[in-house]
Each structure stands twice: as structure tokens, then as C-alpha cells.
Amino acid sequence: MSAFEIVPVQDKRGLRQFIDLPYSFYRGDAFFVPQLRIAQKELFDQKKHPFYAHATMQMFLALRDGAAIGRIAAIEDRNYSAFHEEQAGFFGFFECVDEPPVAAGLLGAAREWLLGRGARVIRGPVNPSTNYECGTLVDGFDSCPQVMMTYNPPYYDALLQGAGLRKAKDLHAYLAPVAGATVDRVLKVAERAARSNDVHIRPIRMKAFAEDVELVWKVYNSAWSRNWGFVPVSRDEFILMAHDMKAILEPDLVLLGEVGGKVVGFALALPDINQALKHANGRLLPLGLLKILYHKRSVRSLRVLVLGVVEEYRTAGVAAGFYAELFRNANRLGYRDCEMSWILEDNTLMIRSIEALGGKRYKTYRIYEWN
């Protein structure tokens, strides 16, 4: 193996190399889905993207003869550290050739930068937090990732563990057929709870989209606050996420749960737009947008990204109502299968609910840590 160097990204050329690397790295991989370059540029814009109002990122490249052969980002998220009262650092956006010295060099550079900023534990990958894409795929390499899920070669687990990282938590993805989902029993539970607890489930109001997004943001930061790895989402971040999703969402698959007129839960399922994005090769112009719009019509898979209820109402049957309504609406809209992800490996209650619907685990993602 020839020599390489690890360099920090300090200018526009370096940033361009950092963003461009996956598009060449995965060329010819049947399961890789190129994300839109315009979206990637937005995510890495530390002057404009709201994530960086509470975070700092330093990117690094592995170069061989001037060409990028790996990348990593070191991330200091002050929201996480304040919320958990833990001096934690993160790494993300990891890509690397199958060469342990290169991986060790990239991870070492990120670790050194984070330790220099006071981190006592380092976890990842998160891109750039658990509110976005996260985890390294370690099982289930025989299909494309669904919307907002990661993808990587099988050898990444060995590279990361070889560099001294160990598993912190596994995240599971379950797949269930929509038409064949066993929702009858769940539906009965939901209807019984709805009658006794005054539970009402409704779709998001597209004519009052901004108002409903505000309601959901408050519920999100409450309902998920005890989850492992949770990071509070700022209002500006949440609004940007909602704006980005608005063009592809189906209102009947974005549900708000109310008790006595108060929003106490939220469920979000998105059509798997990755099936359409794959044909655009990361570009909207000159023909990418037309290809996305054309192939979007044939998408028959969806992903449940979020489903949660504030703690005081978790026994009120709201979650059961969400599942029943989501599957019923998805079936009516013509979707064939549904991914439910990601689910923490030790979230027994959620796993049992998913399995009761006919869900089968088919992918596993891993978060690693140094301490």
C-alpha cells in the first residue's frame, strides 16, 4: 500500500472533495443510493445550517497522491453535552477504503480533535446527530437503504473495531408487509383505549402545516427525551427538516395523537424516496428532477421514521392507534411494505409491538464508542 496523508478540510476545494467522495467511492454498487448533492452542500454549510448554531464540526480527508480515499468528521454537539451532562464528542460521515492504517488515521485525527475540546467519551457514526442518519450497517447488505438510512461496505465493522472502537448500541430495522400486517388485534386495543382515554388521531393539516409543525416539535423533544442517544432538536432545525420532507410526505401517513385536544404523540412515515433518488445520481439538473418525479410514482415502500408519545400518555393506547392507522392508510394508498426503523436493540416494548404487526428484523446498524 502506498503512502497517504490525513489532512483537515480548510477550504472550498477540500469541502468539495469531502462531499464528492461517496459518489465515486460507491460507483457501480447496486445498493448505494446517491443523495442529492444540493442537500449535502446544505448540510455541510456551517454558516447557514441551524445544526451549527449549537455544534462545531471539523472534517478530515485521507489523501493518496491528492485523491481522496477516506473521510471523517469530528463533531462537538453542545446541545448533547448540556442535556446529558456528559462531555461527549462524536464522529460521522465516515468513508474509507479497506485499509486499516487509513481508517486508524482518520479516526485518530477525529479523536485527537475531540479530546482537545474536552471530550471524555466519543461515539459514532452520527451524520451529524441521532436526529439525522446514523449508524454503520453491520447486517443486511442485500438491499438498498430506505430514506434517511445509511449504507456502507461490510468491512467497515472490522475497520472500526480494529481501530479500537467497541459497540455502544445496535439499532434495528424491521420490515413488514402492509397488506398482510396483523393489525386487527392492535386496532382493537387502539379503539378500546381511544374510547376510555379520549384519544383522537388525525393527519397533519397541510393548510396549517407550520402550526402543526410547531406542535410536533414540542412533543418530539418531550416524547424522546429519555431515549438513549437523544439530542434535543432546535426549533430552526426541526422547521428545516419539516420543510425538506414536505414535498414527499403523504398527509395520511403523518399523524398527530391528541387527548382532550392536546397533542401528546406523533407518528411519521415517509415514502421511500430513495427508490426514485437512485435514478438521479445525486443531481437535479439537467434531468435528475424529471427522473425523480417519474420514478416517485412507482414507490410502493415506506419507512416509519418516528413514532412516540409523551411519557404520561404512553398507556393511553396512542401508539397502538398510530400503528393501526398508519397501516390502514398505507394499504389504502397502495404501499406494499413498511420499514420501521431505527429501533434500539433493548427497546423490548417497541419490538414486541412491531413483531405483533408481522415485522421481521432485516437490517442492523451499530453505534460505536471510545472511552
Angle (deg, nearest 10), helices 184-197 and 348-356: 120
Longest dimension (CA), the chain: 69
Distance from C-alpha of 146 to C-alpha of 239, rounded to nearest angstrom: 22
Per-residue pLDDT reduced to its tens digit, 315-353:
767 877 888 889 889 999 999 999 999 999 999 988 988
User: What's the pTM?
Assistant: 0.94
Domain 5-173 classified CATH 3.30.470.20?
no
Q: What is the mean pLDDT of the chain?
A: 92
Cell 419507512 sits at which residue? 303
* Among 103, 108, 113, 40, residue whose Cα is nearest residue 74: 113
Distance from C-alpha of 164 to C-alpha of 107, rounded to nearest angstrom: 9
Superfamily assignment of 176-362 in CATH? Gcn5-related N-acetyltransferase (GNAT) (3.40.630.30)
Q: Which residues contact 240 (CB under 8 A, 6 or more apart)?
A: 49, 50
For position 289, what pLDDT does the model report? 83
Cβ–Cβ under 8 Å, residues 176 and 361: no
Average pLDDT over residues 225-253: 94
Cβ–Cβ under 8 Å, residues 255 and 216: no
Distance from C-alpha of 61 to C-alpha of 110, rounded to nearest angstrom: 10
- Answer whether residue 24 shows pLDDT above 90: yes
* Among 107, 119, 151, residue whose Cα is nearest residue 133: 151
Distance from C-alpha of 35 to C-alpha of 295, rounded to nearest angstrom: 15
- Run of H or E including 235: helix 235-246
Q: Residue ranges per domain, the chain?
A: 5-173, 176-362
Distance from C-alpha of 38 to C-alpha of 43, rounded to nearest angstrom: 9
For position 254, what pLDDT does the model report? 97
Three cell numbers, residue 50:
441551524
- Answer whether residue 181 shows pLDDT above 90: no
For position 26, what pLDDT does the model report? 97
Q: 228: how many CB neighbours lie within 10 A of its CB? A: 13
